[in-house]
Structure 1
Amino acid sequence: MFIISFILSYGYWNTFRPILQEVDVDLPGCTENVCGMRILHLSDMHMERISVSPEKMYEQIKGTNPDMIVLTGDYLDEPGNLPKWAVYMQYIARLQPKYGMYAVLGNHDYRLGDKVNELIAIMESYNCKVLQNESIQINYKGKDINIIGIDDYHLRRSNLELAYANIDERALSIVITHDPNIILHMDGRHKVDYLLAGHFHGGQCDFPYAFRLYPMGVLPKQNLYKGLLDYKGKRMYISAGLGQSAINVRYNSRPEITLHRLQAE
């Protein structure tokens, strides 16, 4: 009994110990103009089971000086936590990134039903553009960049044709999405220089072969579920996320905030 209690306590303690991962990303499509661009990435915050307070989160992100912020889904699934989410958004928005904040929704967010529109309204009130199978172009130091937001693949809401309908094929393309399994369906028609996602929580309880017991698609079965990865020539990063789902414990996968620095290959 003591051992079980210790294991559970250790796993719960881990949920209070976020890591700021700083990742230098070498991209073939990255030009000299874009080198050094800083992207702050938050994912899977799960208001129902997050141990990191908005104040502690802000202490870790306030010195990151991001050019852009991206949020890759699963913020909450209970309408009663919308005010709580608004507080986190308030702290994130304090960073005022020059090139904007962009977000996609995850499978848990759609559990809100009609209230998902309130979630979107909260985010957009803090100048965070929610992309649902659509793109937006920004100009960074004279270089055009596509920000492509693909809706949640897990719930079959992804529409690649819509998401890519208005992109500039000559521009660097940064894709944000919740479930990275969408990359399995992306081919030469879908330009991807860097894909940012979440969904897997880095395993959350990251034990060997865990994804065989709890399947979440093809990627984790191929041991592709966290960190900086390549899939058939496409570079992607899968965040371990800041919150938890199901149970509020973590093993071998602490809560994560990620700062990406883009570099030329």
Structure 2
Amino acid sequence: MANALARAGRSIWRGAKRTATASAVAAATAGTWGLLEAQAYTLRRRTVLLDGAQAGNPTSAGRTLRILHLSDSHLLGWQHRRAAWIEELAATEPDLVVLTGDLIASPAALTPLFSSLSPFAGTTGTFVFGSNDYYLPQPKNPLSYLAANTTPQASENEKRAEQPWQELQSGLEAFGWHDLTNQRAHLDIGNWSLDAVGVDDPHLDRDEYPLPLGDSPQGSPQCGTPYTPAPQQVVGTTPDGATYLRIGLTHAPYKRILDAMTADGCALVFAGHTHGGQICLPGAGALVTNCDLEREYASGLFQWPPTGKGVMHGDGTVPTGTERRPTAWVNVSAGLGTSPFAPMRIACRPEAVLLDLAVI
């Protein structure tokens, strides 16, 4: 009896050792893959078709506006490969560059970031900031990213060292780009006329939705004389024949911001923050969004409010929305980087998005 128990004990022990070994190997393999995938930079190519006749100008068919959306680069001073990849995107020749925050992870990243963006200096650009542009990242348990609520408390931010965000701001403005931090701007790009609206990072509760351009005090930076489309219309034609639409920028795609921008008449909204979930399960997708969006909207192009038509995660083309209610196309970028303290991605490649607006 004693021998039988001993044999059973040894068998259980050997089984436990095999299980532990297999688990360790699997964890090491996943970790190695995650580190490699975090360097597998990918350019997504998406097209939104706009109906020229519906916008009031059938002769505008054939117009295109190319927008390059960059987000969450979390650049460190030594990440020259990531910076070089961003610089190479100038070959796509965008008409508009959109930055949705968390651009740097250390003060030393300013020089390589500006160098990587310098080829775009002659291109119209807009930007908003994320929390990591204001505060240095802090060491934390990588698994804490999977928590349901990671919104930092005000007391936590008071303890964090600041990033040189004023230098980041002035450097981007030196390119001629528009700071949309709780602000609006009017952009004329060829035969396109755009209103742009942005908010400061909702994840830090810094968002203050700006007044419409026409309601701004005369002489303020928010002043302009934009074309205002008819009610329910998010794309139109200006009196001089330019294709008009409104776009929105936010770092974190909280529902309150997407609702506000849709109600404001935005045809397109750009966001980041989520990292696409960063650690995803094949077939199941993102585990978290790090905001109040459902997991299926962790990255990709989709309509808001949701129309039941799903999310485009890769490349592709979508038609003009035909819903009677106002809707916006929302592009949530999975971002290019990660926190320096959780430098892995699984089933979620780092990305930039090239989005073409095409009038048909």
- Mark yes or no: TM-score above 0.5: yes
Q: Secondary structure at the match of 2:205?
A: coil
Distance 1:200 1:119 in 2: 22
8 Å CA contact 2:100, 2:271 repeated in 1: yes
Of 173-182 and 186-195, deviating more is 186-195
Q: Secondary structure at the match of 1:243?
A: coil
Q: Which runs of 5+ in 2 are unaligned?
A: 1-23, 137-161, 216-222, 230-243, 306-326
Amino acid at match of 1:136: A
2:299 to 210, 213, 226: 226
Question: Does 2:83 align with 1:54?
Answer: yes
The number of residue pairs the alignment matches comes to 257
How far off its partner does 1:91 sit?
2.0
Change (3 A) 1:125 1:86: farther
CA RMSD of aligned residues (A): 2.7
Partner residue, 2:29: 6
Amino acid at match of 2:43: L
Question: Does 2:267 align with 1:238?
Answer: no
8 Å CA contact 2:37, 2:345 repeated in 1: yes
1:15 to 22, 35, 38: 38
Amino acid at match of 1:240: A
Distance 1:146 1:76 in 2: 27
Q: Residues 71-129 of structure 1: CA distance to partner in whole angstroms, max 9, x if unpaired?
A: 1001124xxx334233222222213444x111100122221537321221222233333
2:97 to 69, 82, 98: 69
Structure-to-structure mapping, 1:90-169, within 5 angstroms: 90-98=115-123, 100-111=124-135, 113=162, 115-162=164-211, 165=215, 166=223, 168=226, 169=228
8 Å CA contact 2:274, 2:291 repeated in 1: no
Q: Secondary structure at the match of 1:85?
A: helix
Q: TM-score when scaled to structure 2?
A: 0.64
Amino acid at match of 1:239: S
Of 109-118 and 227-236, deviating more is 109-118
Distance 1:177 1:187 in 2: 10
How far off its partner does 1:219 sit?
1.3
8 Å CA contact 2:34, 2:346 repeated in 1: yes
Question: Does 2:275 align with 1:201?
Answer: yes
Larger radius of gyration: 2
8 Å CA contact 1:132, 1:163 repeated in 2: no
Change (3 A) 1:228 1:51: farther
Q: Secondary structure at the match of 1:202?
A: helix
Q: Secondary structure at the match of 1:37?
A: strand
Question: Does 2:349 align with 1:254?
Answer: yes
Amino acid at match of 2:251: H
Percent identity reads 26
Q: TM-score when scaled to structure 1?
A: 0.85
Change (3 A) 1:210 1:121: same
8 Å CA contact 2:35, 2:345 repeated in 1: yes
8 Å CA contact 1:39, 1:67 repeated in 2: yes
Partner residue, 1:84: 109
Of 135-144 and 236-245, deviating more is 135-144
Amino acid at match of 1:121: S
How far off its partner does 1:154 sit?
1.1
Q: Secondary structure at the match of 1:63?
A: helix
